[in-house]
């Protein structure tokens, strides 16, 4: 009988698949995997593969096994079977470690099995990031030869309770200061395992903005400060110099306005801390989109009306299917990472699927989502990564990242996702649950190019690093407001009086839904209460109001009081008849003294000019 030799190769780049003669391998072998990932308290993950390869035919055997692990930081690699240690040949790839195991013994015969174990330690599967632990385990690609795949994940009990798990474990047990999680086999074919232990992350930041007015006239300009969102809360320590005001745009950006003199250069420093949450904040107001059509429009880089975009969108229909299509079809191009990276846009991303970076993953998701009527927008910001090959950053202006959001009209909530990292990590789920590593700087929804995010405000000749973000601790929010009432101290009775109430945020956090009321002793106000839905730190909100006219002969003193949820102010207003105001106000007294002289001077000048004209 002729013995046929087949070199069997398995790969596992966050998934497993046959790569050498796949038809023969899948039809002539069956495989069983029992895998345990044990996270040690220091974050090193010990992985053990118990593998059984069973011949389906009598004249073949496996002479070699190859595994490609989606990690560049493997240690203590070893393989063995009942006869003893097996040789391992290690080659390092760009994002992978390739392990080849030649078999010493020829296991020949139908239903005979080659049984062996592979063990290694990895530094890429679990990370302590500030106040949380994050675990990402690779997904398995199902093949016809796979008969059984059992996986357990053992996590130190000291990590606490998980905040998120995707997919959900089928069961869990406790043993020897570990919690052991089991999973259903079919769930592991759809995605890898992603788990987070801890609910909140904290970042400290220091951001420099460099502004320059090249004109010979004064200008107003604005910068985008990292804002509050449903998933993040900002606490500002300094903003130096302070702007004239901070306004909220329709996308939720905080835009700080500065006035620059001709040829002036100004550097602004913003420092503080950001609290990133896995779950939406209960204190952040949610409103339905006032105009969802603004987030369905074609824009530069979001070619919603492109025929290919339209056709593909109608096939996919839902945000999740759009996300998965992008994850499965775009290829991240590390060669495009440079300071002069060109943004392709959604349509060009379809034509260049093997050369995408985070901008293309983001733009294509937005265009496809808008094409099926799902509002979508882009986020530019900071993303923390422990392995830039698995979780790359693409915006080279201070190494920022881009990811998309889509709007859930039932929850009134923008949902952040990250198809870039879903692709580069080999299938870790960044759709159903994002992580605590994404810190939003700016949102681009109504304009695909504006506002410019922090880190991109550089002078042409500057190569400075303008964004510093580090893990921090919880900072103390200090909400505080101040009220000013702008009215004259005294004025003439009988006329309407225009005034202003200015609510200033003098604290270090934004305040929401501030109720403000104005009361008066004498005036019946057309409107005496207002709601300020959103007031960023350092911002002013101006309310214009008018006091109705009184009688001409009224002589009264009115006390106006403005009260908000956090502060109040009072103003005394004196109304006098015109004749009393003229005789009591020092400014009017001066006018009365000077008026005769001014009148005489006026008539004398007029007379001399007339005589001069006649004589000429």
95: enclosing H helix or E strand: none
DSSP 206-271: EEEEEEE--SSS-EEEEEEEPPP-SSEEEEEEEEESPPSEEEE-TT--EEEEEEE-TT-EEEEEEE
| pLDDT value at residue 580 | 73
Same structural domain for residues 565 and 589?
no
Going by C-beta distance under 8 Å and a sequence separation of 6 or more, which residues neighbour residue 490?
573, 574, 575, 576, 581, 585
Q: Does the pLDDT at position 88 exceed 90?
A: yes
Going by C-beta distance under 8 Å and a sequence separation of 6 or more, which residues neighbour residue 361?
326, 330, 349, 402, 403, 404, 419, 420, 423
Token couple for 149? 């795949």
| pLDDT value at residue 1 | 35
Average pLDDT over residues 545-560: 92
Output the CA torsion sign for 361, 364, 366, 369.
Answer: negative
Q: Does the pLDDT at position 338 exceed 80?
A: no
Average pLDDT over residues 140-166: 84
- CB distance 51 to 118 below 8 Å: yes
> Comparing 31-35, 281-285, 523-527, 583-587, which segment has the lowest mean pLDDT?
583-587
**Alpha-carbon separation of residue 76 from 102, 122, 386 (angstroms):** 18, 9, 21
**Alpha-carbon separation of residue 292 from 51, 288, 375 (angstroms):** 53, 9, 6
Average pLDDT over residues 201-224: 96
Q: How far apart (Å, rounded) are the C-alpha atoms in residues 117 and 456?
A: 50
DSSP state of 290: S
Q: Is residue 210 part of a domain?
A: no
Based on its alpha-carbon atoms, the radius of gyration of the chain, rounded to whole angstroms, reads 34
Average pLDDT over residues 147-168: 89
Same structural domain for residues 190 and 310?
no
Token couple for 208? 């420099």
Q: How far apart (Å, rounded) are the C-alpha atoms in residues 230 and 510?
A: 13
Going by C-beta distance under 8 Å and a sequence separation of 6 or more, which residues neighbour residue 16?
10, 33, 140, 141, 143, 146
- pTM score of the predicted model: 0.77
CA dihedral of 516, 522, 525, 528, whole degrees rounded to 10:
10
For the stretch 362-397, pLDDT in tens is: 999 999 999 999 999 999 999 998 778 778 887 666
> Which residue(s) pair with 497 in the sheet?
547
| pLDDT value at residue 4 | 36
508: enclosing H helix or E strand: none
Q: How far apart (Å, rounded) are the C-alpha atoms in residues 97 and 90?
A: 7
Containing domain of residue 400, as a range? Answer: 294-446
Average pLDDT over residues 324-349: 88
> Burial, 281: exposed, middle or buried (Cβ in 10 Å; 0-12, 13-18, 19+)?
middle
Q: Is residue 385 part of a domain?
A: yes
| pLDDT value at residue 146 | 79
DSSP H helical ranges for 448-503: none
Same structural domain for residues 49 and 163?
yes
Q: Could you identify the residue written with the tokens 């069983």?
A: 32
For the stretch 419-466, pLDDT in tens is: 999 998 877 789 987 788 899 999 999 999 999 999 889 887 777 789
Query: Which backbone phi and psi does 533 adopt, to 5 degrees?
Result: -70, -30
Same structural domain for residues 186 and 68?
yes
> Comparing 6-15, 22-31, 53-62, 525-534, which segment has the lowest mean pLDDT?
6-15
Query: Which backbone phi and psi does 190 adopt, to 5 degrees?
Result: -85, -35
Would you place residue 104 in the very low, low, confident or very high pLDDT band (cuts 50, 70, 90)? confident
Q: How far apart (Å, rounded) are the C-alpha atoms in residues 435 and 452?
A: 24
Share of the chain above pLDDT 90, in %: 61
Q: How far apart (Å, rounded) are the C-alpha atoms in residues 69 and 146?
A: 18
Which of 45, 226, 169, 166 shows the shortest CA–CA distance to 435?
166
Give the count of alpha carbons within 13 A of 476, CB side only: 2
Count up the domains in the chain and report the number: 4
End of a domain among 398, 419, 446?
446
Same structural domain for residues 77 and 165?
yes
Q: Is residue 203 part of a domain?
A: no
Query: Which backbone phi and psi does 239 adopt, to 5 degrees?
Result: -145, 100
Q: How far apart (Å, rounded) are the C-alpha atoms in residues 466 and 458?
A: 8
Q: Kind of pairing, strands 4-6 and 401-408?
A: unpaired
Letter string b/e over residues 508-539, b meaning 16 or more CB atoms within 10 A of that residue's CB: bbbbbebebebeeeebeeeeeebebebbbbbb
Same structural domain for residues 163 and 306?
no
Which of 273, 272, 271, 241 shows the shortest CA–CA distance to 257?
241
Residue 609 C-alpha from the chain's centroid: 73
| pLDDT value at residue 459 | 84
Q: Does the pLDDT at position 116 exceed 90?
A: yes
Token couple for 101? 């195991």
DSSP H helical ranges for 255-345: 307-316, 319-329
574: enclosing H helix or E strand: strand 568-576
Which of 275, 227, 280 shows the shortest CA–CA distance to 252?
227
Same structural domain for residues 492 and 589?
no
> Which residue(s) pair with 202 in the sheet?
275
Average pLDDT over residues 23-36: 74
3-state secondary structure of 322: helix
Q: Is residue 322 part of a domain?
A: yes
Q: How far apart (Å, rounded) are the C-alpha atoms in residues 448 and 450?
A: 6
| pLDDT value at residue 198 | 85
| pLDDT value at residue 13 | 34
Q: Is residue 252 part of a domain?
A: no
CATH value at residue 541: 2.60.40.10
Q: How far apart (Å, rounded) are the C-alpha atoms in residues 488 and 501?
A: 13
End-to-end CA distance of the chain: 136
CATH value at residue 434: 3.10.620.30
Which of 385, 386, 387, 367 shows the shortest CA–CA distance to 377?
367
Same structural domain for residues 308 and 370?
yes
Average pLDDT over residues 538-558: 93
Same structural domain for residues 152 and 54?
yes
CATH value at residue 159: 2.60.40.1730
Same structural domain for residues 501 and 591?
no
Q: Is residue 548 part of a domain?
A: yes
- CB distance 375 to 293 below 8 Å: no
Q: How far apart (Å, rounded) are the C-alpha atoms in residues 245 and 537?
A: 10
Same structural domain for residues 559 and 602?
no
End of a domain among 446, 464, 491?
446
Average pLDDT over residues 126-143: 81
**Alpha-carbon separation of residue 315 from 90, 309, 318, 423 (angstroms):** 43, 10, 9, 21
Q: Does the pLDDT at position 22 exceed 60?
A: no
Would you place residue 61 in the very low, low, confident or very high pLDDT band (cuts 50, 70, 90)? confident
Return the higher-pLDDT residue of 525 and 9. 525
Average pLDDT over residues 267-273: 97
- CB distance 92 to 162 below 8 Å: no
Token couple for 445? 């929804």
Q: Is residue 62 part of a domain?
A: yes
End of a domain among 175, 197, 219?
197
3-state secondary structure of 465: coil
What value does the mean pLDDT of the chain take?
87
Average pLDDT over residues 461-489: 91
Would you place residue 357 in the very low, low, confident or very high pLDDT band (cuts 50, 70, 90)? very high
Q: Is residue 26 part of a domain?
A: yes
Same structural domain for residues 29 and 94?
yes
Which of 427, 336, 430 shows the shortest CA–CA distance to 383?
430
3-state secondary structure of 159: helix
Query: Which backbone phi and psi does 173 adopt, to 5 degrees?
Result: -140, 165
Q: Could you identify the residue written with the tokens 């053992």?
A: 154
Q: Does the pLDDT at position 191 exceed 90?
A: no
| pLDDT value at residue 597 | 55
């Amino acid at each position: 009988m002729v013995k046929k030799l087949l070199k069997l190769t398995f790969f596992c780049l966050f998934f497993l698949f046959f790569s050498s003669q796949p038809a023969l391998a899948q039809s002539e072998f069956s495989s069983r995997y029992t895998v345990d990932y044990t996270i040690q308290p220091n974050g090193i993950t010990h992985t053990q593969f118990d593998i059984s390869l069973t011949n389906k035919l009598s004249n073949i055997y496996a002479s070699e096994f190859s595994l490609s692990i989606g990690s560049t930081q493997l240690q203590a690699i070893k393989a063995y079977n009942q006869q003893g240690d097996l040789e391992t040949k290690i080659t390092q790839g760009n994002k992978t470690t390739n392990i080849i195991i030649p078999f010493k013994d020829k296991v020949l015969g139908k239903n005979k099995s080659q049984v062996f174990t592979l063990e290694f330690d990895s530094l890429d599967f679990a990370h302590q990031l500030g106040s949380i632990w994050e675990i990402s385990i690779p997904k398995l690609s199902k093949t016809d030869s796979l008969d059984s795949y059992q996986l357990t994940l053992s996590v130190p009990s000291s990590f606490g309770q998980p905040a998120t798990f995707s997919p959900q474990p089928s069961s869990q047990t406790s043993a020897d200061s570990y919690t052991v999680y089991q999973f259903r086999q079919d769930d592991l074919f759809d995605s890898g395992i992603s788990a987070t232990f801890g609910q909140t992350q904290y970042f400290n930041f220091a951001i420099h903005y460099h502004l320059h007015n090249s004109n010979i006239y004064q200008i107003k300009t604005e910068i985008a400060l990292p804002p509050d969102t449903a998933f993040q809360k900002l606490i500002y320590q300094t903003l130096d110099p302070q702007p004239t005001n901070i306004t909220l745009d329709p996308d939720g950006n905080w835009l700080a306005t500065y006035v620059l003199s001709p040829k002036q250069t100004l550097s602004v420093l913003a420092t503080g801390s950001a609290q990133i949450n896995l779950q939406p904040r209960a204190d952040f107001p949610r409103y339905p989109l006032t105009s969802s059509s603004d987030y369905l429009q074609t824009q530069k880089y979001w070619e919603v009306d492109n025929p290919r975009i339209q056709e593909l969108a109608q096939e996919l229909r839902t945000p999740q299917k759009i996300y998965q299509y992008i994850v499965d079809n775009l290829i991240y191009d590390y060669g495009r990472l440079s300071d002069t990276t060109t943004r392709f846009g959604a349509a060009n991303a379809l034509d260049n699927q093997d050369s995408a970076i985070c901008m293309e993953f983001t733009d294509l998701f937005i265009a496809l989502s808008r094409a099926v009527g799902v509002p979508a927008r882009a986020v530019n910001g900071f993303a923390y990564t422990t392995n830039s090959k698995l979780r790359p950053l693409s915006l080279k202006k201070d190494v920022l990242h881009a990811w998309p959001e889509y709007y859930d009209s039932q929850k009134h909530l923008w949902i952040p996702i990250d198809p870039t990292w879903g692709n580069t990590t080999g299938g870790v789920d960044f759709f159903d649950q994002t992580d605590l590593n994404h810190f939003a700087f700016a949102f681009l929804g109504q304009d695909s190019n504006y506002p410019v995010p922090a880190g991109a405000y550089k002078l042409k000749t500057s190569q400075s690093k303008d964004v510093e973000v580090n893990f921090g601790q919880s900072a103390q929010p200090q909400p505080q407001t101040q009220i000013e009432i702008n009215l004259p101290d005294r004025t003439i009775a009988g006329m309407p009086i225009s005034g202003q109430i200015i609510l200033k945020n003098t604290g270090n956090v934004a305040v929401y839904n501030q109720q403000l009321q104005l009361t008066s002793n004498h005036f019946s106000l057309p409107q005496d209460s207002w709601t300020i839905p959103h007031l960023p730190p350092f911002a002013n909100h101006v309310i214009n109001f008018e006091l109705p006219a009184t009688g001409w002969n009224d002589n009264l003193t009115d006390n106006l009081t403005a009260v908000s949820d956090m502060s109040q102010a009072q103003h005394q207003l004196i109304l006098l008849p015109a004749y009393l105001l003229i005789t009591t106000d020092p400014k009017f007294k001066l006018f009365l003294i000077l008026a005769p002289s001014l009148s005489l001077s006026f008539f004398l000048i007029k007379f001399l000019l007339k005589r001069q004209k006649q004589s000429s």
